[in-house]
Structure 1
């Protein structure tokens, strides 16, 4: 029985276990087996999407030194995308809706970018704290603002992903909870609305994975 709306995001299956996190293992069922002799349409779709994203991330990374990061960014994109997609199935836990997961990914990336930038390109990182053309009187204030914006980047990345996944699932739960007391016409309208929301949630799951990957790529390109 669902005690409250947020119980659908509870990872604990009992007092001592959190078996709902094993839902992240289900994504391996959707990874195409490219070693088959005759590839399927899903493999062609996967390879075309991979090629499209790699070409786009190459433009964002600018330098050849950063091209190694494409492997990390592409793995991150498909991991978030498939986890968001798995959350659309009934009775499957949405692991990407938790800050525990999204913050761990964004914080590790942000820390690695910052450490590399300050250790290898310290002058470049200092120059980013004061935008070009800033008046002399505003320079101390701009240093504080830019420092704060750099610090909260990992938080905004994770909260953006989790909040969007939570909002859509809560909206669908709120609408479906009123279905018991509705008439036949209103029930049909509610089902149509739910179908539209499911399509919207599928698009949000793709968009959020793309936004997370693109912003991580831009943060990586900034430190070089």
Structure 2
């Protein structure tokens, strides 16, 4: 029984007193067919094309000073979030990306590593970033404060953006689904069509949000070099 609307996102439900909801994070592996691992199948070729496109884009964003293999971090991050977002669209599967426990765990260590690397190895470059080019001298102290705050809240905005988008769509689907029992047949048909449209929209949001998370992480990484 739901005590409030957000109970559907509660990770505390359990089976035999074991909290198994977070195992849904690994269910994305089930979406990769066995043929992907055994031979160059159609799935393999399609996924390779997607990954190569992302690889080239992330390589461009990181610039010529990138470390070898650094793009693999962001393509892997994209894949993980995409699989988790899609798995959450299936009934009775817990959406792990709708919780700050997971999204903040992804965003905070990444941001912290970028900041530590930048301030230790490129200290002067990081100080330059605090004052945008062309800023009048009188405004420099204020710009340093504003840029510092914007840097500090980056992991929070990354995590909350993904979480809020996942919760919003799922909550709307849940609210509409709970009203179907008291509707007439005509309204019920309209509701089903609306639910299908929202499900398609959520599929697009799942792809877009995983892409946005990976791209913003790449941009934050490129700023410390």
- The interval holding the TM-score normalised by the smaller chain is over 0.9
CA RMSD in angstroms comes to: 1.4
Matches within 5 A, 1:174-189: 174-189=175-190
Match of residue 157 from structure 1: 158
Partners in 2 of 1:73 and 1:217 — Cα distance?
Answer: 7
SS, match of residue 89 in structure 2: coil
Query: CA shift at 1:71, angstroms?
Result: 1.0
**Per-residue deviation, residues 177-210 of structure 1 (Å, max 9, x unmatched):** 1101111110000000000000000000000000
Task: Work out whether residues 107 and 155 of structure 2, in 8 Å CA contact, stay in contact via their aligned partners in 1.
Answer: yes
1:110 aligned to 2:81? no
Match of residue 131 from structure 1: 132
TM-score, length-scaled by structure 2? 0.95
Matches within 5 A, 1:58-207: 58-207=59-208
Query: CA shift at 1:64, angstroms?
Result: 4.3
Query: CA shift at 1:87, angstroms?
Result: 0.1
Query: CA shift at 1:67, angstroms?
Result: 4.3
Partners in 1 of 2:33 and 2:224 — Cα distance?
Answer: 34
Partners in 1 of 2:152 and 2:17 — Cα distance?
Answer: 34
Aligned length: 223
TM-score, length-scaled by structure 1? 0.95
Partners in 1 of 2:198 and 2:204 — Cα distance?
Answer: 10
